[in-house]
A and B are shown apart, each in its own frame.
Chain A
């Protein structure tokens, strides 16, 4: 029996993997582009290539306001906006959870610590209801697009028909794998079966990533169209349209952001469970879960600014107009709001770590240092926050002699912000290092040397970041200015990785000074609110960035190709957008609470004596 089961799974798995590899052939663009590449290689004759794509496509339609159906009393743009944003929030959460569930499950397998396995199971349990909500919201988005923007949908679907079909099929695959993964969790335990389960997790992530990449392609096509000519006539090469200029930058950015976001949502879940826990064990469990969720969120949050910077740089490179609209034009102020939100993220993540020091008596050694970390973190954040365009009263203008501020002006541009963000990340990492060492003392003989080396590393790294930021940022031309951000990032990454490696060896078999008490009374409710703040800020921030990403297209459906002529073609102002985002966030939060609530009632049982007829046996 045992053996048969595993054989079935193995078979199913094999088929699933096979199907996954077959998928690309379902996307006509894959073949077409390869065939096209071959042909052009063999013969450079223009006609042959043209003949190969005998199908001719229509140019992008020119619409009038009458081409947009409307329902009285319904603002079609806000409906599509909210549907898309809610779908994205849930999608991000649902795609992210399997990523770290996979990692946690693997950690559990490696350490043979069942707590990890239970936690991973709880994570996926939370996401399973969210999964169907994602699909429902995706359907709602598709419906509202077809209903309110039929011509746009038709135009996009002629270009992406293959990939849209593949998307639908992939969704089936995703569902199947997810359900086996979740419902088979307790069945697929131990030895070989656990490995099968882990492979399923990998498969789940692969399908999920592919789903997201496809949907990203449709989005980025509208921002950086490819595979079409200036009039919007599709050349027939789907791969070119998918692999457009901003596709990969967005893929990377969304992938990392998803993980951070998923971590923050799960953190909020754990925090809520912690606050309402009755027993000591529950408190300990959810404290531990919240800590891990926060760790995931921070780990993904650290590289996120770099991914965002890369995406923005690519947007600039794609079109200066788009770049300046984004950074200097109407949307300049959005980055001030973004800075506030990111500040909230970093501050609350740090605060949670500092509060976590209370879990062990051994941490008292480190508490005095936290204020220095705070000084640097807040200081770096203030630089990150300084706007390029200052709001000046007339008296201030007169006193300054013009709108340029000799000190704050240079802080408003990218090199200063890059330097600041690298410091912010390094010191957040430092907070984590202190936390890690809270209850231990290194016993290895070279501990002093190791510490000295780490301090030297940090000092040298910080000096390097400053030199790169100040010298290359202000005293050379823009090519270097942009290029200098890369060594800055590398410095930060080198410091983080090297320190982690040193720490791992240095604290091997370290002496425990005082035990770590998960969920003890000294873990305050305040720290749990930091986790809520993390989740709320993240959700709101994603909404804001979604608005700006879409907003920089301005009055275009597909930029410079397909004009938006609907009455709502105007770009909404920031305040209005903020209100829509807030409403969206509240809807999302309510839905998430519903999902969390569902996951708690499934384990509740009511005994109703005398309700059911006694079965005579």
Chain B
């Protein structure tokens, strides 16, 4: 079999993995300007390496070609020098990695806020108990029954929003209000498809009425600065604001209409 000279398989593998790694970093961090979280990149690379290994080893020839240099390195007497160097460098690298990852740093611990904490089955607000499983927006029905009235309600909701919410959540509902920069976690971006569009109105009602302090323990640390709006707004007003949130962003609340 005549074979033209090409890059050894092992080097190919290393180059492919490195290329993909740099590709991720380049795409996310440089081109798109949205850094890729390190934790995620680690897992991504783990599976990329698994995939690459699979491709490189599924035929017998290719697998042999891949393992060949490694085998030779360990067994071939003529490669004594290289072997010694590798056997010194690899443990050293492992040691450096271990040292770096165990070294205490001044970095604050990673925060794990759950974006959608599970709601309780019922919630106490306005001195009443609301069953979140069955709670519905009393005004939602007007959307079909009486569009004019619905429109008026949405407008009222919009006014309430501008008076109360836009300082943080922004006048375009994108979570970029004048005060947003000072807050961590940042105010919710309602335009994002992953926020209110994923939720039922009862969930949104719960989050508005009881605010940050009403978050369950599992969403901790609840450093959310969302106020407890039941102290400032009436039940009706909250429902109207919710209508406005969905109407303005053009989203529909999650619902389960069973055909």
Contacts and interface: CB of A to CB of B under 8 A. Distances in A.
Are A and B in contact, CB atoms below 8 Å, in the complex? yes
Interface of A: 316-317, 319-321, 324-325, 327-330, 332, 340, 343, 347, 350-351, 354-355, 357-358, 367, 370-371, 374-375, 377-378, 381-382, 385-397, 399-410, 412-413, 474, 476-479, 481, 522, 524, 526-527, 560
Given A320-B202, A524-B63, A526-B57, A392 B110 contact: yes
A405 B132 contact: no
Rank and list the top 4 A-B pairs by shortest CB-CB distance, nearest first: A477-B252, A329-B118, A328-B116, A402-B186
Given A328-B118, A477-B197, A477-B252, A405 B34 contact: yes
21 contacts: A320-B203, A329-B216, A330-B118, A330-B218, A357-B58, A374-B52, A385-B43, A385-B47, A387-B40, A390-B40, A393-B38, A393-B107, A401-B186, A404-B189, A408-B37, A410-B193, A412-B194, A413-B193, A478-B198, A526-B63, A527-B58
A388 B110 CA distance: 16
B59 A407 contact: no
B218 A399 contact: no
A434 to B, nearest CB: 12
B121 interface: yes
B116 A406 contact: no
A378 B194 CA distance: 24
B51 interface: yes
Contact of B133 (A320, A354, A405): A320
B47 A413 contact: no
A408 B184 CA distance: 20
Nearest to A352: B58
A377 B185 contact: no
A410 B194 contact: yes
A355 B57 CA distance: 8
Contacts of A327: 116
B27 to A, nearest CB: 9
Q: Is the interface of B mostly helix, strand, loop or mixed?
A: loop
A328 B194 contact: no
Given A347-B47, A374-B51, A478-B252, 16 more contacts: A324-B119, A351-B58, A354-B58, A358-B59, A370-B58, A381-B47, A391-B112, A392-B39, A399-B35, A403-B186, A404-B175, A407-B28, A407-B32, A407-B34, A479-B257, A481-B197
B113 interface: yes
Contact of A408 (B36, B107, B119, B192): B36
Contacts of A413: 193-194, 198
Most-contacted residue by chain A among B37, B132, B184, B258 (CB, 10 A): B37
Contacts of A387: 40
Given A321-B118, A404-B189, A396 B38 contact: yes
Contacts of B121: 319, 321, 560
B115 A389 contact: yes
Nearest to B189: A404
Interface residues of B, number: 63
A332 B219 CA distance: 11
A382 B118 contact: no
B253 interface: yes
Nearest to A320: B200
Interface in B161-211: 175, 184-186, 189, 192-194, 197-198, 200, 202-203
Contact of A329 (B57, B108, B114): B114
B54 A351 contact: yes
A406 B30 CA distance: 14
Contact of B58 (A316, A355, A479): A355
Contacts of A386: 40
Given A391-B112, A404-B192, A524-B60, A324 B203 contact: yes
A329 B218 contact: yes
A401 B33 CA distance: 11
B191 to A, nearest CB: 11
B39 A391 contact: yes
A357 B120 CA distance: 53
Contacts of A367: 58-59
A397 B32 CA distance: 16
Interface string B232-259: 0000000000000000000111111110
A29 to B, nearest CB: 24
A340 B32 CA distance: 27
A402 B185 contact: yes
Contacts of B200: 320
Given A320-B132, A354-B58, A478-B197, A328 B115 contact: yes
A522 B60 contact: yes
A138 B246 CA distance: 51
A367 B58 CA distance: 9
B117 interface: yes
Contacts of A328: 114-118
B54 A321 contact: no
B26 interface: no
A388 B115 contact: yes
B50 interface: yes
A391 B87 CA distance: 35
Contact of A347 (B40, B54, B175, B252): B54
B48 interface: yes
B72 interface: no
Contacts of B252: 476-479
Contact of B47 (A382, A397, A401, A412): A382
A237 B27 CA distance: 60
A294 B110 CA distance: 42
A328 B194 CA distance: 12
B18 interface: no
B117 A319 contact: no
A412 B116 CA distance: 12
A396 B35 contact: yes
Nearest to B62: A367
Contacts of A378: 47-48, 50-51
A603 B252 CA distance: 66
A392 B38 CA distance: 8
